[in-house]
Amino acid sequence: MKKSSRIKLVLLIGAVLLLGVFAVLVIGLARYVMKGRRQTLSQAIKWQSEHYDLSFYEPLAKTDYTVNSFDGYELHACLLKNPVPTDKYIIISHGHTDNRYGSLKYVKMYLDLGFNCVIYDLRGHGENERVCCTYGIREGQDIAELVKDTRRRYPNISRLGLHGESLGAASTAAAMKYSPEVDFAVADCGFADIDNVLRGAASSGGLPSFCVDLANLGATLIYGFSFGDMRPIDSLEGCRVPFLFIHGSADTFILPENSYRMSERLAGFSEVRLIKDAPHAASVLTDPVTYKRYVQDFLECL
């Protein structure tokens, strides 16, 4: 083989190898962001029981059921009935990689405030079919369908609210695009757009910003969803549903500025409350007394 032919062959092999590495990187990053590792129900309930008192949970009357969402996707849900009869209901959405048991940390508070609680597995989580996370695009539509189902299932509702944590909070904001018939919403440590969260996480992890661009390329090509479309904040434009945004002041994963940005976008009543020294998704555990007071004061203003 001539020297020039060998050089061409080496260059060709090198190009193929580089292309292969690029493809593996794009697919791997996209899969990590869009699917990730999800907790099982047993893992979630174990974590909850190790971090706060769950003794209130077992005696509750529980009704398990499923809800078919806008596209036929099946969501697993459970009604936790307040021991004291009430016609007020709250739908609680958990965070990314968690499941409906992750919502239990808020249940005791809402029981005390006189609500029945609906907890459920977000799309791709818990007992639901394993699908990719769309960071509010489909999850927001799911919440809007849960609202419709709750009003059909329990027709004598006097007040219906939403509460979300992290991904659940962002999805709660995204749901406003579909004008759900709710009386209020509480969004705890939600993101205004997923891009700023991913770039912040990449930076804190010592990864270059272009890794997010590669993940976005993979998400768009493989799953059909672009990070640029995952902007719950845009669903709040003109929204008049009263919102309480809660954020941990020490949250370095989803920065508190996300809550302020979303609050400013609303057309109706909203307020932002910070829980001092609370890290991500731990405000209610860091200072449960202040947390409950913020929620109670908000509800009394409505």
**pLDDT tens digits along 138-163:** 999 999 999 999 999 999 999 999 99
Has residue 1 been placed in a domain? no
Give pLDDT, residue 10: 59
Has residue 86 been placed in a domain? yes
The CATH code of the domain that includes 117 is: 3.40.50.1820
- Torsional sign, CA 33, 39, 41, 44: negative
Has residue 274 been placed in a domain? yes
Q: Is the pLDDT of residue 9 over 70?
A: no
| Number of separate domains in the chain | 1
Show the domain range for 238. 35-193+230-301
Has residue 105 been placed in a domain? yes
Q: φ and ψ at 146, to 5 degrees? A: -65, -35
Rounded mean pLDDT of the chain? 95
- DSSP state, 219? I
Q: Is the pLDDT of residue 56 over 90?
A: yes
